[in-house]
Structure 1
Amino acid sequence: MTKVFETNGEAETKALAYRLAQLVKPGMTILLEGELGAGKTTFTKGFAEGLGIERIIKSPTYTLIREYTQGRLPLYHMDLYRLENTGAEEMGLDEYFDGEGICIVEWGSVVEEELPESHLLIQIDTSLIDINQRTLTISAVGAAYETVLKELEDERTD
């Protein structure tokens, strides 16, 4: 199942992520794909707010994983861009994927074969016409993720 959402500016992107955070269940994985500067970290900031996390969200580019545990669910924000030669297994990422927290994974395609089979994939694309506009194509793989995506879509049409 795939749904497309359009946002105009950071506030709308964060609001969409906030709503999604209120729908997710423990142990879910969200893969974020998009060019540098597309809004992956902005999305994660809104998502963290939706979980009730008050800490400042920073990109995990150089640390690989940032952990935020004070919200409704723990949030593990990962940037796997630099893992091409290492792999998720050697880093112990399966412990995060098998846990009760929410994993938001930037550049998951680098270790695609080691990611959970069921997940949400969010492709964030920038507009060629308006630098503030984003197209978020959200694909759900697995029944639980399809339910979450349907609920997110239903909220949009209310």
Structure 2
Amino acid sequence: MCTFFLADAEATRRLGEALGLLLTAGTVLLLEGNLGSGKTTLTQGIGAGLGIADAIVSPTFTLICEYFEGRLPLYHLDLYRLEPAAVEQLNLETYWQGEEVEPGLMAIEWPDRLTYRPDRYLHLRLEDAFGPGLGSEHMDSEAGAEVDWKRDRLPGRRAILKLVGGETLEYIKIQQMLANLGSAPGQRQQNPL
């Protein structure tokens, strides 16, 4: 597991760009985080790393956006509005198995809606830099106002990247890339991206 700090949206985009340069066809990236945590910003960076010039937008209302102009296709999904039973009917395994589409990189927002997952995937969780469970939705109104004040003055996110399904050369490269950006696997980065 790799944990590191992203100072702002630009740092989130740069992390995505670095991942886009490294990740290979067939990679499934599950993106977890609250609304506004930077999932689409990260995916925009991935698109830049893949060489995609088209504007990458949130697929909240289209469910999936497909981009083919980069070094490999990017399939960006947002499952926020779906119930798990509806997600199951999408047959998403055809994407990560490359059966009916050209093999590419899948970035899936709101993966908690999935009823099944691939055997191997990267899981990236974006959360407030000052810790999970401290958002205003978990506080009474007085404490919530204090947290909102902190959020305004303490920008940034903590990103936690974990591989599920076994070590691969690709994951080792990601760990090395993060170390080169100033973050050691399992440690908090002292110098933000």
TM-score w.r.t. structure 2 length?
Answer: 0.75
Q: 1:85 to 1:157 in 2, by over 3 A?
A: closer
> How far is the alpha carbon of 1:67 from its aligned partner?
0.3
Q: Is the 8 A contact 1:140 1:149 kept in 2?
A: no
Larger relative strand fraction = 1
- What residue is the counterpart of 2:188 in the other structure? none
Are positions 1:126 and 2:125 aligned together? no
- What residue is the counterpart of 1:137 in the other structure? 160
Q: 1:148 to 1:109 in 2, by over 3 A?
A: farther
Equivalenced residues, count:
156
- What residue is the counterpart of 1:7 in the other structure? 6
Q: 1:13 to 1:19 in 2, by over 3 A?
A: same
**Unaligned segments of structure 1, at least 5 residues:** none
Q: Is the 8 A contact 2:39 2:109 kept in 1?
A: yes
Q: Is the 8 A contact 2:37 2:127 kept in 1?
A: yes
Equivalent of 2:104, from 101, 110, 116? 101
Q: What secondary structure is seen at the aligned counterpart in 2 of 1:71?
A: coil
- What residue is the counterpart of 1:151 in the other structure? 176
Aligned-residue sequence identity (percent) comes to: 36
> How far is the alpha carbon of 1:63 from its aligned partner?
0.9
CA RMSD of aligned residues (A): 1.8
Q: Is the 8 A contact 1:88 1:94 kept in 2?
A: no
- What residue is the counterpart of 1:116 in the other structure? 118
- Partner Cα separation in structure 1 for residue 173 and residue 28 of structure 2: 12
Q: Is the 8 A contact 1:66 1:76 kept in 2?
A: yes
Superposition map of 1:40-59 within 5 A: 40-59=39-58
Q: Which stretch shifts more, 75-84 or 64-73?
A: 75-84
Q: Deviations over 1:6-29 (max 9, x none)?
A: 011111111111111111111000
Q: What secondary structure is seen at the aligned counterpart in 2 of 1:55?
A: coil
> How far is the alpha carbon of 1:130 from its aligned partner?
4.2
> How far is the alpha carbon of 1:123 from its aligned partner?
0.4
Superposition map of 1:72-87 within 5 A: 72-87=71-86
- Partner Cα separation in structure 2 for residue 157 and residue 42 of structure 1: 21
**Unaligned segments of structure 2, at least 5 residues:** 131-149, 184-193
